[in-house]
Structure 1
């Protein structure tokens, strides 16, 4: 094999600092005649230190040289990792917009639930949201779910305005729902905001599709009982007739797999964001898709809900308390507990700009991405309260992107109390999530050495030098008042109104 250009790590810190480490990607090019996937052996040589203190460390290893074609089995597909663009993007926008946006009902705390589950919940008279009772009272017992289609429109939908808003918020990728979406949004992103990567949400099973009945427990009393059933009137039990329904032999082979192929090959999705899981032919699809993408020079990704381990895990309305070395992505709505628009949610309960920034910083410091959902209304307009939160967050995220995008987590610690950290090959970023004291002592292991420059990052105080020294108590930063107050904004409650980022620039 032939090693591609070597990697240069600027800083791991003082010799003997056992807490410091780095993950390095090394390119390997097979010599002529050596096929991809061949077993090979080699030696890694690490050179470190300066002057007369230069040392070398070697380690022999054996492994697979070159990535072979993916095969339709778990072991082969699980060899795939999240691509660099996904690791670098950090912040994405999730979009739930469909027929459920017409009733837009998910109740309120403590009985709130996902508004997009309206169709399923209206069949259960005992469910906490009381959607069964709400539907009968508001629309009548003979009003079928499909009748909401007449009030679903695109009167307020402007795909360019949507993607411009996502860019203003600082998002680097988006994941709209599929099976019920206007594909002009993907075209608009490619045309007007090409830096925003384009993913697609895909539900593996389908509600009220009888073709799925053999794969799912059809007892409506159990969780997930809406899968694999004929739709019925929940009030008298009569069957709702389908228009244009075409029977198939097998749901997975004849519906699910072709739909996944359509998203991949007709719409060129870069991220297959599956949901629910269940029976599937994902090994067949993924092996085809990953191999084709490689021949096109594209990097694509898929989550942990496609029936496979996936490139990243997906905690929902939750996060991780500490760093998780394997890639992960937290997802949640701006709504306190709904992805689809819930008209009953008061404006003051939505995430504001500060909430978004705090969640993003905390997540990125722990090796995660943040997929934030919006729920447009029945006519395709994004509620103003959501627009305000996104724009406020973006007014902080975009100018501070140096400390967010393209960074990696700090292997020693994600931070204690109000401290969070990210790192690049030539800088280390210290986040303080509330107003810092003028003298800040950090006991966490920090890769600062004499000769490094510490400066404030962002706003009018950008570049202000922060005097720093190491004492027996830890790293002591004496933050000038101009750096503490320089970014305060009277109209927005954002991180820089009270918090701060300091950047350590590594010396030679």
Structure 2
């Protein structure tokens, strides 16, 4: 009888159809893999990587809002008749090796990547039928960048492939016409945006569809709900795909698979709906900047703090790198990714497949954040320490120990740590071994594993 119930339940799930309404679309469970992954890599790469002057918004800075430094840069360095389209010829990608990128990303400990297939400039990194002469096969590299990267990433164990796609384009005449008509017409959506999205999903089968560029028009203009219903019901990735929340004006942080809410979003408190901290290693830009200084690059300590505080509060981190126009991931980016990977090799047990605990951070001792695994045997609570305890003693107010409580340090092969509790005081006092911090398995942040904790 139980087998029959299971079969009937599975059949009902398979036959379920999501309607093009937010109520129905939001009822779709988020595929488990995304919550378990915790860390992804964002890659911003396009024609904007050629001038690499200010940010990936270079074209808009130059000919949209006309920022003084960008306009002056073009006057000093380029002929008066130079156009933004001329930059595409210099988007050469001669050093781009998809397999090497995939190796770097896997080495970082990331479990998925999200590649910018098209930014607001409209240039597609694949030979789109809907972007005539403004794509990576027609001008520039003469290659299917998305296709090469998709194949390389999917060949790596435990690494999933995702795509970012901008709904709008700054200077596309169809979009500007729709905008002039107060979005009562949808020529751009029907002729450009939706065909591109269907083409991307059917051709490359991404496990993440990361939408952007939605904010000027409603979800009804973008026909977002119709696309998402198809994506969840009938697409080749219907059971595995995850989506974000940028599908129309007023949608962000309210509807979608996971919430982004804003760039570099990190509320530092529990958000019950799964969310994502999309952030950059370069503090000022998503695309590569030739003018970046060392001070503009986040340190490994800062990156780990972002990762730890994010996963403690039910978020994932999507960490951005910006390759150069010729296809190189800069040494400083590679160093940060390698540092993350080496840290995760020691402490990944407390990161991957973890869940928020009863408390997100310690209520007394600063710089301590928690995750948990209730299904492990025995159930475990992980305390992430952003600072090494002074004098070898750590007091944690949040955990309630039992007689069977054990405390260990991930990566440390010595005996369990000694601990005590006071009858008149909640929490736990942990005594660290007489070891210098330099002798510890990690240099930057440390993870205690506590089992048989009451709460």
| TM-score under structure 2 length normalisation | 0.83
1:189 aligns with 2:131: no
Selected match of 1:449 from 390, 402, 417: 402
Q: Is the 8 A contact 2:31 2:239 kept in 1?
A: no
Q: Shift in Å at residue 313 of structure 1?
A: 1.2
**Distance in 2, Cα, partners of 1:349 & 1:152:** 25
Deviations 1:188-231 (A, max 9, x none): 0112x131111100101112111112443599xxxxxxx9xxxx
**Residue pair 1:407, 1:424 contacting (<8 A) in 2 also:** yes
Q: Please tell me whether residue 170 in structure 1 is matched to residue 146 in structure 2.
A: no
Q: How far off its partner does 1:126 sit?
A: 5.3
Which of 289, 294, 301 is the matching residue for 2:242?
301
Segments of structure 2 that go 5 or more residues without pairing to the other structure are 119-123, 126-144
Cα distance, 1:261 vs structure 2: 1.0
Deviation at 1:352, TM superposition (A): 2.9
Superposition pairs of residues 68-87 of structure 1, within 5 angstroms = 68-87=16-35
> CA–CA distance in 1 between the matches of 2:237 and 2:289?
41
Measured on the aligned residues, the alpha-carbon RMSD in Å equals 2.7
Residue 467 of structure 1: how far off its partner (Å): 1.0
Partner SS for 2:332: helix
- For the structure 1 residues 413 and 506, does the alpha-carbon distance in structure 2 shift closer, same or farther, using more than 3 Å as the test? same
Question: Does the aligned pair in 1 maintain the 2:212–2:247 contact within 8 Å?
Answer: yes
Q: List per-residue Cα deviations over 1:346-378 (Å, max 9, x = no partner).
A: 134212322222211111111110001100001
Specify the alignment match of 1:36 in structure 2.
Answer: 12
The TM-score with structure 1 as length reference comes to: 0.75
Change beyond 3 A, Cα 1:391–1:474? same
Alignment partner, residue 281 of structure 1? 223
For residues 498 and 186 of structure 1, the distance between their equivalents in structure 2, rounded to whole angstroms, comes to 33
User: How big is the shift at 1:382?
Assistant: 0.8
Residue of structure 2 in register with 1:119 after alignment: 59
Cα deviation per residue 1:50-107 (whole Å; 9 max; x = unaligned)? xxxxxxxxxxxxxxxx87211122221121232210000000000011111110011x
Please state whether the residue corresponding to 1:357 is helix, strand or coil: helix
**CA-CA distance at 1:281 after TM superposition:** 1.2
Partner of 2:139: none
Equivalent position of 1:468 in the other structure? 419
Counterpart residue number, 2:198:
261
Pick the aligned partner of 1:272 from 203, 209, 212: 209
Does the alignment pair 1:209 with 2:148? no
Correspondence 1:440 to 2:394: yes
Instruction: Give secondary structure in 2 for the equivalent of 1:370.
Output: strand
Q: Does residue 364 of the first structure (1) align with residue 307 of the second (2)?
A: no
Higher alpha-carbon Rg: 1
**Is 2:367 the counterpart of 1:418?**
yes
Richer in helix (by share): 2
Alignment of 1:104-253 (within 5 A): 104-106=52-54, 115-124=55-64, 127=67, 130-179=69-118, 180-181=124-125, 182-183=145-146, 184-191=148-155, 193-216=156-179, 250-253=187-190
Match of 1:36, SS state, is: helix
CA-CA distance at 1:484 after TM superposition: 4.5
Out of 44, 50, 55, the residue aligned to residue 102 of structure 1 is 50
* Deviations 1:225-272 (CA, angstroms, capped at 9, x unpaired): xx9xxxxxxxxxxxxxxxxxxxx9711122211111112111101111
Which is further off, 248-257 or 469-478?
A: 248-257
The change in CA–CA distance for 1:503 and 1:463 in structure 2 (over 3 A counts) is farther
Shift in Å, 1:152: 1.1
Structure 1 unaligned regions, length at least 5: 5-27, 38-65, 107-114, 220-226, 228-247, 489-495
Cα deviations across residues 390-416 of structure 1 (Å, max 9, x unaligned)?
111211112211010000011333334
Within 2, Cα distance between the matches of 1:358 and 1:452? Answer: 27
Find the partner of 2:431 among 478, 481, 485. Answer: 478
Q: Residues 211 and 507 of structure 1: is their aligned pair in 2 closer, same or farther, counting only changes over 3 Å?
A: closer
Mapped contact 1:456–1:483 kept (Cα < 8 A) = no
Structure 2 Cα separation of the partners of residues 70 and 397 of structure 1: 37
* Pairing of 1:342-357 with structure 2 (within 5 A): 342-357=289-304
Distance (whole Å) between structure 1 residues aligned to residue 445 and residue 346 of structure 2: 15
CA distance in 1, matches of 2:11, 2:410: 48
